Amino acid sequence: MLKWERIAKDFMAVSVGKEYDGEPYYWTTFYYYKGLVIDTGCPHTAEESAKFMKDMNINIEAVLLTHYHEDHCGGAYLFRERFGAEVFASQKSMEILANPPEVPAYRQVVWGQPKPVKAKPLKEVIEFSGLAVKTFETPGHSFDGVSLLIEDYLFIGDLVTNPSPVIIMRDENLAETVNSLKMVLNLSFEKAYGGHGVWRKNDLAKVLENILDLKSNVEALHCMGLSIEQIVEKLFSKVPKKVVQMEVISKGEWSRRNLVKALLEMGQK
């Protein structure tokens, strides 16, 4: 399933997701800006995304990936095949993009198994037809995460996915997320465009504040003797049904427990 929005001339947001019962379980957004495709959606929607771009008669000079997760890199191989576009990503992403491991079954159902794609490393500054792209390492959600500043727009992948976190993946590093947010807040940009939202600078500042406030609350409860499970129950008992579903189907790869554990580990470093 695909829906799109024209943000400005030569600037589009394209949201994709595999349809189940009339609606994707998760939408992920990628972007087209002046010949550049930033992220590519998931493997399940690669054909649909490529057909859409062809039908729109869009020139694609390059594909830029913010990180290796399948809902962001899943169409890269096909964009390269169909449009002859070079794929660029963080140097840290090269090996996993070229040799993607088999993802868990639930991720194959929701997003699909990524196919190998050979990428070139992003440089600190790289130009495409006179358009400068500045690359900033922004790990946290993933070890290889980067944000891309193109003119007045910042593309952040999944650096931020929710105004206040409730659930995270097991291997996310919140200390790195905090540092990445502090760094991007020093950049000059109009808006930040992510896979799951568009954010103004003060929105990102609020996200940072929310994480640090949550860290303080979790640490206070832990000092009172509450276990991780008890903290989860106290702070996150009333959550959307989809959060609980994700915990179950992912067998804990995504969970509220991961969030509390990561917040406590921040205070130990």
Q: What is the pLDDT of residues 133-149, one digit of tens each?
A: 999 999 999 999 999 99
Q: What is the pTM of this model?
A: 0.95
Note the pLDDT tens digit of each residue in 106-141: 999 999 999 999 999 999 999 998 899 999 999 999
Cα–Cα distance between 107 and 103 in angstroms, integer?
6
Cα–Cα distance between 172 and 263 in angstroms, integer?
11
Note the pLDDT tens digit of each residue in 232-243: 999 999 998 989
Query: Hey, what domains does the chain have and what are their CATH numbers?
Result: 2-212 (3.60.15.10)
pLDDT at position 267, please?
67
Q: What is the mean pLDDT of the chain?
A: 95
pLDDT at position 25, please?
82
Q: Quick one: pLDDT band at residue 20, thresholds 50, 70, 90? A: confident
Q: Which amino acid is at 45?
A: T
Cα–Cα distance between 163 and 141 in angstroms, integer?
14
User: Residues 66-89: what's their mean pLDDT?
Assistant: 96
Q: Say if residue 269's pLDDT is above 60.
A: no
Pairing of strands 11-16, 28-33: antiparallel
Pairing of strands 86-89, 62-64: parallel
DSSP alpha helix (H) spans, the chain = 46-55, 70-73, 76-83, 94-98, 105-110, 174-184, 201-223, 228-235, 241-249, 256-267
